[in-house]
A = this chain, B = another copy of it.
């Protein structure tokens, strides 16, 4: 006597909304990022560089949960835009160190206003501050839990 629709409906209620919300938020950023001439994933890489300065591809990957197969081409595009530099580490020739160019550093100024504008467009929404903070908190826990699960999953193979 298993219920039929509910299961396939219910699951829709976590994974799919996350997928939709993620795509929507990316879209919210797009007009602002177009002005800077970068994409959303490229913006995430710039964020890590603005925050933590020079670091290896590996480290960027650990922060964004991405690997070299995604990052290498993306970083090459940022290099072409002359926002970053890619240099082999003299200490370990395997690692590629990513650092900001002057143009990359300067872009931070113009990027500064983006979070404000995104947040501002939510001011009139029916989501209270408490609700928002609780949401954030659970979201963090979720990302953390998922990250652990995925890591286990990968180890199994």
Q: Which A residues from 7 to 30 make CB contacts under 8 A with B? A: 7-29
Name A148's closest neighbour in chain B (CB-CB).
Answer: B125
**Pair A139/B18 contact, Cβ less than 8 Å:** yes
A135:B127 contact, CB within 8 angstroms: no
Residues A7 and B115 in contact in the complex (CB < 8 Å), given A22-B21, A121-B149, A145-B127: yes
Q: Which of B9, B19, B44, B116 contacts A22 (CB 8 A)?
A: B19
Other 9 A-B pairs with CB < 8 A, given A24-B147, A134-B135: A8-B111, A9-B51, A14-B136, A21-B142, A21-B143, A22-B22, A31-B153, A132-B138, A135-B142
Chain A interface size, as a band, is 35 or more
A24:B126 contact, CB within 8 angstroms:
no
- Is residue A150 contacting chain B, with contact meaning CB distance below 8 A? yes
Q: What are the 8 tightest A-B residue pairs by CB atom distance, in nearest-first order?
A: A11-B115, A24-B146, A22-B22, A135-B138, A15-B25, A18-B22, A17-B139, A7-B115
Are B2's CB and A112's CB within 8 A? yes
CB-CB under 8 A for A150 and B18, given A9-B51, A51-B5, A138-B132: no
Give a binary string over A69-107; 1 marks a CB under 8 Å from any B CB, 0 the rest. Answer: 000000000000000000000000000000000000000
A36 close to chain B: CB less than 8 A: no
